[in-house]
Amino acid sequence: MNATEAKNTYLSAFPDWEKAALSKDPFWLRETREKALAAFGEAGFPTSKEETWRYTDLDHLFQLPFDLTGEKPAKAAVTAELKSLGFDTEKAYLAVFVNGHFSKELSHLPAGRSEEAPKSLIENLANGPLKREFAHILPFESRPLVALNYAYFTDGLFLHVPKGKKLEKPIHAVYLSTNTGHATQSHLRNLILMEEGSQAILIEHYWGNNLKPYFTNAVTKVSLGKGARLEHTKIQQESALAYHLGVLAVHQETDSHLTSRVFSLGGALGRSEVETALAEKGAHCLLEGLTLARGKQHLDIRTFIDHLAPSCRSEETFKAVVDNESTAIFDGNILVRENAQKTDARQSNKNLQLSTESKIYSKPQLQIYADDVKCSHGSATGQLDEEALFYFESRGIGKAEAKRILVSAFAGEMVDRVSDEYLKEPLRRMVGEWLEGKS
Amino acid sequence: MKMLEIKNLKAKVEDKTILNGVNLTLQAGEVHAIMGPNGSGKSTLAHVLSGREGYEVTEGEVLFEGKDLLALKPEDRARAGIFLAFQYPVEIPGVNNTYFLKAALNAIRKARGEEELDAMDFLELVKAKLKPLKMDESMLQRAVNEGFSGGEKKKNEILQMAVLEPKLAILDETDSGLDIDALKVVADGVNALKRKDRAFLMVTHYQRLLDYIVPDQVHVLAGGRIVKTGGKELALELEKKGYEWITQKAGV
């Protein structure tokens, strides 16, 4: 299939799918889904002719048969597997989605129906803010893959933290793709609404034990009220033949603070986009990421920071390690608008190539339309330092071990920056296992 | 006992011959100095012995305790007991000094069939080695050589040597970039490690270091060959007269 044929398949499947799967959808949501589908139909799948998709080709994705017949999954030993990854799951709220559907049995969420408890989005559509949310389509939501997600999403996490409330535990949302059922894809939509002065830690964990090819298309929308703080970590650990496309879109009000981290290791093709609009004075964002690619993996990171208001601050640090014939991409765009005086924006991208066949594309972009700003960006790609390797060898440490230590030092910096105890150890283990070649 | 035997060693870098028939024998317990003008091949000799890439040995052999040294990979030479103190110690951001030293010691112990040390035992061992070098414990927590002063880097090399306890230590221009106080500390550190089953080969341009670490023999390397060998007084003579009188006589 080519892009047009694939698009037509997605379009023509909708009426039947809607009838079967969406019988419980409120009518207002159906209307928006149809509008979103039309937007997708108009735009079609992105091609490498588009600037932001220049290095990422979706051709292989189009060969994947379309099947959304969402059979409810069998029980999966999620908690045990998370523990084996090093997560102390007792210390988090666990929200588990299997093949795009919320699993109440596998989740550990606070009892009762408190407002701030993490919930299934689809089960809470009657909730006031959700109705407002889905009443329309924002311009960004008419982008093809986001629109496709809008049309087909089956569920996702809904989090609404009221004014001044601080969540006691981190929320660990697990999006598991398994072999059960025929579904070849899941479209997930998460909505995070944080009111003034609220605080939360959220982990979006995309994870697969499905050995067949599948497609995850995830969209997370976040709104941070005045002074709200969100620490968001995405772990992309899909299985080897997966296609993962994900967007995190954030809107930040006065003095709000976003930390966004992306640890990208999984899938045959993975693309994670992080966009934040620093819409009001004093907003601050910290964007970090680590990509570890080997084999023929293609892992793409795209960030967009929109400085719309004065005195906002953005700091970005992304690193990638590529081995074999893999590819890593960093496309980081910072836009400082005319009104955004006293902006402080810093961006850094560092890449380490372990093989001559691997590829790195680094594309830092800074567009500045204000005159009183502090902005800097830097990008560096290199190989392991031969001098350093010899230094290890001369001390009795063999080349393979020396390489492991040097790569671990390079990548480990991104784990060292994580302060949250719940995450730190599993991330360390994950990087360690990658270095050992186990994942 | 013969620790090191270098026989007619010839080596080149790319197409340029640097070592042109070096002969040298070092007994256990001895300290030898190799001196010579810039470009005479002193550092090349140190590098060839430690197994650094980029040098091609075209002729001759090197025996370490009677075994073919040149057949070994660099890490195996270190495990066999050879230590090179670098002229320019390498900075390794992100790897802490303790971790590096522990990994090195355990790699060597493992190769010798000894038990690896755990973190506690290792820390105890390394702390005891810090004192004579007047090094602060905080050095252990810093990244290897990163942001170290010239003196700190050289002290760190000697610390590594003290921890790894080699049979043969090759000191490549260890005195370069040191002020007199640091030089004394480094020399004391080396002297404290002298043993009758350990040998030292010091590569140096100046005689200064030899005031503090007194050699049994001094060799002058010029044009890729050893052109003169003598006692410690040869170094003093060189300091006074320079190298030219020897190199001219040797026809290099």
State pLDDT tens for residues B120-157: 999 999 999 998 888 999 999 999 999 999 999 999 99
Q: For A395, which of B94, B99, B104 is closest by C-beta distance?
A: B104
What percentage of chain B exceeds 90 in pLDDT? 82
Distance to chain B for A438, nearest Cα, Å? 22
Say how many domains are in chain B.
1
A196 vs B174: CA distance, rounded Å: 61
Whichever domain contains B179, its CATH number is 3.40.50.300
What tokens were used for A182? 């025929």
Q: For A397, which of B50, B75, B93 is closest by C-beta distance?
A: B75
A314 vs A260: CA distance, rounded Å: 11
A277 vs A308: CA distance, rounded Å: 7
Q: For A396, which of B78, B93, B99 is closest by C-beta distance?
A: B78
Range of the domain at B140: 2-250
Gap between the terminal Cα atoms of chain A: 31
Three-class secondary structure of residue B184 per DSSP: helix
Q: Average of pLDDT values for A427-439? A: 88
pLDDT in tens, A372-419: 999 999 999 999 999 999 999 999 999 999 999 999 999 999 999 999
Is the Cβ pair A388, B92 closer than 8 Å?
yes
Q: Is the pLDDT reported for residue A5 higher than 80?
A: yes
Distance to chain B for A83, nearest Cα, Å? 26
Is the Cβ pair B92, A406 closer than 8 Å?
yes
pLDDT in tens, B178-193: 889 889 999 999 999 9
What tokens were used for B65? 């305790």
Is the Cβ pair A410, B52 closer than 8 Å?
no
Query: Which chain A residue lies closest to B87 (C-alpha atoms)?
Result: A391
Distance to chain B for A410, nearest Cα, Å? 7
Is the Cβ pair B78, A393 closer than 8 Å?
yes
CA within 13 Å, CB half, A145: 27
pLDDT in tens, B12-66: 999 999 999 999 999 999 999 999 988 889 999 999 999 999 999 999 999 999 9
pLDDT in tens, A302-339: 999 999 999 999 999 999 999 999 999 999 999 999 99
Q: Smallest Cα–Cα separation from A252: which of A312, A303, A304, A302?
A: A312
Task: Note the pLDDT of residue A71.
Answer: 56
Residue B50 CA, chain-centre distance (Å), reads 9
Q: What is the DSSP string of B133-166?
A: GT--GGGGGSEETTT--HHHHHHHHHHHHHHH--
Task: Note the pLDDT of residue B134.
Answer: 87
Angle between helices B150-164 and B180-192 (to 10 degrees): 0
Q: Is the pLDDT reported for residue A64 higher than 70?
A: yes
- Residue A36 CB partners (closer than 8 Å, separation 6+): A137, A141, A142, A147, A148, A150, A151
B162 vs A290: CA distance, rounded Å: 38
A412 interaction partners in chain B (CB closer than 8 Å): 94
